[in-house]
Structure 1
Amino acid sequence: MIKTQNLPRIAITTGEPAGIGPDVVLQLAQKTIPACLVVFADPDLLAQRAAQLGLAIQLQVLSYPPTKKQWLYSKHQPGHLEVVAIPLSQPIKCGQLNPANASYVLETLQQACQGCIEKHFDALVTAPVHKGIINEANETGIPFSGHTEFLAAQTGVKNVVMMLATPDLRVALVTTHLPLSQINTAITPAHLETVIRILHFDLQKKFGLNKPRILVCGLNPHAGEGGYLGQEEILTIIPTLHKLRLEGICLIGPVSADTAFTPNSLSGVDVVLTMYHDQGLPVLKQRGFGKSVNITLGLPIIRTSVDHGTALELAGTGKASSGSLFYAVETALEQINSLT
């Protein structure tokens, strides 16, 4: 195989082994992609799943970690995968979760992320994990709330921002995986300011937007309606937006979330900033489910992911789509190119 140092190098994790993560990674491997792809997974799992799906695949197990500062990778060829071998704790059956393999899932994430930190890879692309089974098996007592928070801790970053995107819409979140009862107290002036600064900076640096236009939703119905439907806009959101506008950040709002996604509101807007998970993501996923990507902003590495879950019932059936994973790789490549 042809060796190259010039193409982008992408680390990929397959997520929950009993779900569709291995399926969509194997489907992705059939495509032509202008990058070097390295998958962190159990090679036997990939071989068995490929046989079950009727997909031809040639696996090359890499020696890892690399012994040289600059590691030469193979240009991706359809039907081939380079693999960093991480063994499953126990054999799996499609669709059947096993807490014993939670440590395997976390190990793939840790090693792939560390590879990005050490500059062996230019980006990390992740398939879906099952939060419940990881927490069920958790021996540390520290809850696993998702990739975003795990990777922030792994890279030593205090604050990150979750953003999902389709080809024609970006939605970022002020709060992520929180119960509704905790959202209003989590949206402080300091936190909102931090989120907006991260969002503005990464849109400039990683997406090449010189002056990004950010549409900000209110927290309450009708953005509080002058205080009659809540005080958070008056006490927190409006003052924070005013402060950052004085620094030249282009912020629109706060606007009522029920009209934020109309064509007129979105005209000329680069991203919609919503206050909580289900305020904006249902709209985005309705517009582009299976063709959208989850992006973590604020990390010292590039990380993208799929827009869907583990879909246990589809694992091994051949019915899963790799569209979102392919778009996640494309988006990672776009960010890599913006940085070069």
Structure 2
Amino acid sequence: MSPAPIAMSCGEPSGIGPELAVDAWRQLRDTIPFAWIGDPDHLPEGTPTKPIETLRDAARVAATALPVLPLPFPGPRVPGVPQPTQAAQVVASIARAVDLADMGHASAICTLPIHKKALQDGAGFAFPGHTEYLADRAGVRHVVMMLASDTLRVVPATIHIPLAQVHGALTADLLESCLRITHDGLVRRFRIAEPRLAVAGLNPHAGEGGKIGREEIEILVPVIERLRAEGMEIAGPLSADTMFHAAARKSYDVAVAMYHDQALIPIKTLDFDRGVNLTLGLPYIRTSPDHGTALDIAGQGKANPSSTIEALKLAWRLAGGTA
């Protein structure tokens, strides 16, 4: 029995989201059912669409039209220029997808890119991004952002904060929670019975025995040793500059980095177009393409849908579907 369809939020209308949704539907309509939540008038001209009342109707209509759960917006799409009056409906699209997942009507949600400043200015959006908003809605204290592709999985222990704040934010409690959620996600979502985690050091050469920083000695090592004693397979702290070559990647299932760019530079270098953003620790599956709104090319037919397609494929696979 196939999982329920996937609910896709519309993302920022002025960005490439509408084009990504259509391109993904054209490629996946025979294999992965999903419905786009938004204003049909924002989709590229000529797109065959079919409004549906319930998500379960998505599979029935997907062969001939993009299934749409209609959500009217105030005004037309203006490619490249976010409209403040539309910000509240962008958030409402995400909220609708979450509601469908919470009720079990959606097997997963896939969120298209949002323009954070536009949401903050137009709707008082009080979160740095999707990840923090979804955690707040779920009442979850801590979630983990994983970037995944067929080449590499990475997790940043700290996410959208200035580099100068990483030292203060990286506590033993935070790291332990991150490692536990990551381990649990690999077991429950990826069905890896005994996950292998590799933990990067914060400092060059993983601190070099305290000569280039003591965070590894004072924070990382005690947490790693405590979790190893519980039976987790964890390597590290490792020098980040030697963790991501081909031979090293074969030794672990996920690399846990200490800050945003330490995690994202390797995966975007190795597999830029097919990386997927996956949130671990939520009560449902959530994926997203690993890129932004690309306002500069919106409406020009230049958007690459590869990451969105991979996000839908991963969500479907984690939900138990086959494609």
* Same-fold status (TM-score > 0.5): yes
Equivalent position SS for 2:6: strand
Q: Which string of whole-angstrom CA distances, capped at 9 and with x for unpartnered residues, describes residues 58-99 of structure 1?
A: 2221225x8xxxx55434634511111111123221111222
Q: Identify the match of residue 296 of structure 1 among 276, 279, 283.
A: 279
Aligned partner of 1:58 in structure 2 is: 48
Check if 1:129 corresponds to 2:126: no
Equivalent position SS for 1:337: coil
Stretch of structure 1 that moved more, 262-271 or 116-125: 262-271
Maintained 8 Å contact 2:49/2:67: yes
Aligned partner of 1:211 in structure 2 is: 194
Stretch of structure 1 that moved more, 179-188 or 192-201: 179-188
Residue 218 of structure 1 aligns with an amino acid whose one-letter code is G
Q: Identify the match of residue 39 of structure 1 among 10, 33, 36.
A: 36
Aligned partner of 1:106 in structure 2 is: 91
Aligned partner of 1:25 in structure 2 is: 21
Distance in 1 separating the partners of 2:21 and 2:123 = 26
Equivalent position SS for 2:87: helix
Check if 1:144 corresponds to 2:144: no
Distance in 1 separating the partners of 2:63 and 2:53 = 21
Q: Identify the match of residue 265 of structure 1 among 248, 269, 281.
A: 248
Check if 1:236 corresponds to 2:219: yes
Between the two proteins, the alignment pairs up a number of residues equal to 321
Maintained 8 Å contact 2:155/2:254: yes
Equivalent runs, 1:241-260 vs 2, <5 Å: 241-260=224-243
Q: 1:209 to 1:72 in 2, by over 3 A?
A: same
Stretch of structure 1 that moved more, 260-269 or 118-127: 260-269
Unaligned runs of 5+ in 1: none
Q: Which string of whole-angstrom CA distances, capped at 9 and with x for unpartnered residues, describes residues 85-140 of structure 1?
A: 1111232211112222111110000111111011110000111101111112243x
Maintained 8 Å contact 1:31/1:78: no
Q: 1:36 to 1:76 in 2, by over 3 A?
A: farther
Q: 1:6 to 1:263 in 2, by over 3 A?
A: closer
Check if 1:82 corresponds to 2:79: no
Q: Identify the match of residue 9 of structure 2 among 13, 34, 38.
A: 13
Q: CA deviation at 1:273?
A: 0.4
Aligned partner of 2:175 in structure 1 is: 192
Maintained 8 Å contact 1:36/1:74: yes
Unaligned runs of 5+ in 2: none
Distance in 1 separating the partners of 2:3 and 2:148 = 24
Aligned-pair Cα RMSD in Å: 1.8
Distance in 2 separating the partners of 1:239 and 1:261 = 24
Distance in 2 separating the partners of 1:273 and 1:295 = 14
Equivalent position SS for 1:31: helix
The TM-score, its normalising length taken from structure 1, stands at: 0.90
Q: Which string of whole-angstrom CA distances, capped at 9 and with x for unpartnered residues, describes residues 142-174 of structure 1?
A: 632011111111112111000001112101110
Identity, % of aligned positions: 39
The TM-score, its normalising length taken from structure 2, stands at: 0.95
Distance in 1 separating the partners of 2:27 and 2:298 = 20
Q: Identify the match of residue 171 of structure 1 among 146, 154, 157.
A: 154
Q: 1:74 to 1:262 in 2, by over 3 A?
A: closer
Q: Which string of whole-angstrom CA distances, capped at 9 and with x for unpartnered residues, describes residues 161-217 of structure 1?
A: 000011121011101101111111111111111110000011011101111111100
Stretch of structure 1 that moved more, 272-281 or 27-36: 27-36
Distance in 2 separating the partners of 1:121 and 1:76 = 16
Distance in 2 separating the partners of 1:230 and 1:79 = 59
Equivalent runs, 1:155-170 vs 2, <5 Å: 155-170=138-153
Q: CA deviation at 1:29?
A: 1.4
Stretch of structure 1 that moved more, 183-192 or 142-151: 142-151
Aligned partner of 1:307 in structure 2 is: 290
